[in-house]
Chain A
Amino acid sequence: MDFSFTEEQEMLRDQAREWLARYDTDRIAELAESDEGWDASSWSELAELGWTGVSIPEEQGGVGLGFVEQAVILEELGRALYPGPFASTMNALPALEGERLEQVAAGEARWSLSLNGDGLVPDLAAVDHVAVADEEGIWAVTGFEVEALPTMDTTRRLGRLSGGERELLVGAVDAPLVVAQMRMHAQGSNAVEAVGIAQKVMELSVEYASTREQFGRPLGVYQAVSHPLADTYIETELSRSLAYWAAWSIAESDEQAPVAAAAAKAYATESAVLACERAIQIHGGIGFTWEHVLHRYYKRAQWLAAYGGFPAVYRRAIARSLLAPAAALA
């Protein structure tokens, strides 16, 4: 039993954090309020860094690592509130093979996905391909028209797709399995991104509570302030454990992977929303302003909690399988 990252994985995390340092509060605000919502020029850099191909086999021009390394990057992107379609592209990978994977690894194709029957496509305006699932299979849609939706989180905008050319990616027989894979990957990436967000808002809160003074003392001496932060710390660590368990299970195709991903998504996204709410409360008035970055984290956390269904939806599924006559869950 070894539940830790390797030295290489820690180096990848350091590299990610260093590259992402460019997304400071001002830059995030600038991008969030721009027409495009992100800096498309960053994509070729992500490809050069090997991130777009991190989990793609070397034969397809990828780095040949797995979901754990992808999760490390996603956590850091969440922490930095990176506004590009990285998670969307990665979540479409289970439906792709051959040349399509090569294009992603090379940074030549950006993907999103539409699986949930709600027609809401993440990052639609920022991608050129969408994997769309219906009864006949999973389709690659290109050349589509974008209806941009006024999304709360302007760093991850939703859109509705219409028109375009379709090409079959996965036939009707295999589609349900692949859709389940994509959903599971999305839940895993929602969870690790949520961990990055919770960690960041906790750090901002600790800093604020250590320096901001009221009644002549720093806020952090008051237990009404410090105890909710202790809860955020503990919940973030528990989220981390679930998210990494899910990432490892997905990477290893462990039989527990589906339930691990569902559990991680439910717990980590809910905890991240709570972490943001506590952070806003602890920051007081300034935390409620448009100027402060907290609302952007809060909106992303809510986006992650909502995507594919709020946590209660996943808990309902878990409860059902726990109570099923032949429950397979440990």
Chain B
Amino acid sequence: MDLRDNPEEAAFRAEVRAWLDENLPDEQRGGRRSFDDDSREWSRKVYDAGYAGLTWPKEFGGAGAPYSHQAILFEEWSRYEAPQHMGVIGIGMAGPTIIAHGTDEQKTRYLSKILSSEAIWCQGFSEPGAGSDLAGLRTRADLNGDHFVVNGQKVWSSFAHIADWCILVTRSDPDSEKHAGMTYMVVDMHSPGVEVRPLRQITGEAEFNEIFFTDVKVPVENVLGEVGQGWAVAMTTLLHERGTLGFALTARLEVEIRKLVALARQRDVDDPVILDGIAREWIELQALKYTNYRALTRLMKTGIPGPEGSGIKLNWSEANQRVTKLALEILGPDSQVMNGELGGYWQFNQLRSRGNTIEAGTSEILRNIVAERVLGLPRSR
């Protein structure tokens, strides 16, 4: 047990910080993120520095670095409040799925442009009628000679308005039910019949989109894995979505708590209830951070994520909701005015935090997963 960076990790962290000092101008740091911004330039810089796809194998253009480097990179990016990387869906989800299930030709065709962010990716999983119960999806893919004809609607898709490609899960066997008869495919977002409409959230911003597919032709060579085996491929994507994510989330919470403490100091907070809340969230942050380290150690030693990290996203999301609400309480009645301090930073983040317990697995689904897969309790369904 040694909770310090080893010399090699410390060197990498120092390198990342020096690079961020050099390459991230102050005006691009912090504030609240706008999802209208196209940060392709920033993403290109990240790629040129070799930080895109850090843990991807070298043969696919990655750095073949250990997971600890990915963790350090996420931590430092978040601490510096760097802009979002345009390739998060491609690098974190589409790419690893293509590496696991793609043909050589598919790997050659897609992977390098994912890393360079020349091609932006989005995800087509959730549907209006299939949220937590993904297996209830109804977007149809009908085989017609050398292509599928896709019809249906996807929802909650980040980046779809600027995406070039979509990882799409469809029902290719109309008589199938649940997990059978699904096919996973890569769809060109510039194809005729693809329509993207922004979805405005409770924050007022449109961070996500709806995608409508009307008689969209998708060549059969775009199928990832086997026709009819789409569920297994989709599970690979979701596994990666929930992988080293914990580090990015925890580092973001660290920034949030730092700002909360600064706000409390500036306002001379002495209300014992608020002070208790601040200490609680600071402790929760340390607990999440050190749980990440335990999970990372296990991942590095065994190659498999252990169960200890399975609650990180769940507890992070609830902590973020409490932290942002505490900030509003400190602001007092002024908190209802959006153009106040920090340009509505806390108001935006408080409203946005309500999505945290819904996206990337609702808290209810995550508790089911812990109960059934970690504790071994009987299945509820």
Q: Given A241-B293, A267-B283, A318-B283, A68 and B1 touching (CB < 8 A)?
A: yes
Residues of A within 8 A of B109 (CB): none
Residues of A within 8 A of B311 (CB): 230, 233-234, 237-238
One of A1, A4, A329 near B298 (C-beta < 8 A): A4
Stretch at the interface among B114-122, B142-150, B284-292: B284-292
Stretch at the interface among B39-47, B215-223, B237-245, B273-281: B273-281
CA distance A3 to B315 in the complex (A): 20
Whether A315 pairs with B315 at a CB distance below 8 angstroms is no
A229 interface residue, CB < 8 Å from B?
yes
A231 interface residue, CB < 8 Å from B?
yes
Whether B371 pairs with A5 at a CB distance below 8 angstroms is no
Residues of A within 8 A of B283 (CB): 242, 263, 266-267, 315, 318
Q: Chain B residue with minimal CB distance to A267?
A: B283
Residues of A within 8 A of B272 (CB): 316
Residues of B within 8 A of A229 (CB): 371, 375, 377
One of A227, A248, A315 near B279 (C-beta < 8 A): A315
Size band of the interface chain B makes with A: 35 or more
Residues of B within 8 A of A5 (CB): 1
Q: Give A220-248 as 1s and 0s: 1 = Cβ < 8 Å from B's Cβ atoms.
A: 11110011011101100111111011001
Stretch at the interface among A44-52, A76-84, A160-168, A319-327: A319-327
B367 interface residue, CB < 8 Å from A?
yes
Count chain A residues whose beta carbon lies closer than 8 angstroms to a beta carbon of B: 52
CA distance A9 to B2 in the complex (A): 14
One of A202, A226, A230, A241 near B294 (C-beta < 8 A): A241
**Interface-central residue, B269, B314, B378, by most chain A CB under 10 Å:** B378
Q: Given A2-B2, A237-B311, A242 and B287 touching (CB < 8 A)?
A: yes
Q: Given A1-B9, A221-B379, A319 and B291 touching (CB < 8 A)?
A: no
B25 interface residue, CB < 8 Å from A?
no
Residues of B within 8 A of A230 (CB): 311, 366-368, 370-371, 374-375
Whether B294 pairs with A3 at a CB distance below 8 angstroms is yes
B297 interface residue, CB < 8 Å from A?
yes
Q: Chain B residue with minimal CB distance to A259?
A: B286
Whether A245 pairs with B3 at a CB distance below 8 angstroms is yes
B345 interface residue, CB < 8 Å from A?
no
Give the contacts of B295-350 with A (CB-CB under 8 A): 296-298, 301, 307-308, 310-311, 314-315
A312 interface residue, CB < 8 Å from B?
yes
CA distance A239 to B288 in the complex (A): 10
Whether A245 pairs with B380 at a CB distance below 8 angstroms is no
Q: Chain A residue with minimal CB distance to B10?
A: A1
Residues of A within 8 A of B269 (CB): 323
Whether A234 pairs with B315 at a CB distance below 8 angstroms is yes
Q: Give A305-317 as 1s and 0s: 1 = Cβ < 8 Å from B's Cβ atoms.
A: 0000000101110
**From residue A256, how far is it (CB to closest CB) to chain B in Å?**
9
Residues of A within 8 A of B287 (CB): 238-239, 241-242, 263, 267
Q: Given A1-B3, A1-B9, A263-B286, A316 and B371 touching (CB < 8 A)?
A: no
One of B4, B276, B280, B378 near A1 (C-beta < 8 A): B4
**From residue B285, how far is it (CB to closest CB) to chain A in Å?**
10
Q: Given A2-B1, A3-B296, A315-B280, A241 and B290 touching (CB < 8 A)?
A: yes
Residues of A within 8 A of B280 (CB): 315
**From residue B318, how far is it (CB to closest CB) to chain A in Å?**
10
**From residue B368, how far is it (CB to closest CB) to chain A in Å?**
7
B282 interface residue, CB < 8 Å from A?
yes
**From residue B12, how far is it (CB to closest CB) to chain A in Å?**
11
One of B265, B275, B379 near A316 (C-beta < 8 A): B275
Q: Give A27-39 as 1s and 0s: 1 = Cβ < 8 Å from B's Cβ atoms.
A: 0000000000000
A206 interface residue, CB < 8 Å from B?
yes
Q: List 28 A-B contacts (CB under 8 A).
A: A1-B6, A2-B297, A3-B3, A3-B294, A3-B296, A5-B1, A206-B375, A206-B377, A210-B376, A210-B377, A218-B378, A220-B371, A221-B378, A226-B377, A230-B311, A230-B370, A238-B291, A239-B287, A241-B289, A241-B308, A248-B3, A260-B286, A263-B286, A266-B279, A314-B279, A319-B278, A320-B275, A323-B264
Please name 9 further chain A to chain B contacts, defined as beta carbons within 8 Å, in addition to the given A223-B368, A312-B276, sorted by A numbering.
Answer: A1-B297, A227-B364, A237-B291, A241-B293, A244-B294, A245-B3, A267-B287, A315-B280, A323-B264
A interface with B by C-beta (< 8 Å) = 1-6, 9, 68, 202, 206, 209-210, 217-218, 220-223, 226-227, 229-231, 233-234, 237-242, 244-245, 248-249, 254, 260, 263, 266-267, 312, 314-316, 318-320, 322-323, 325, 327, 329
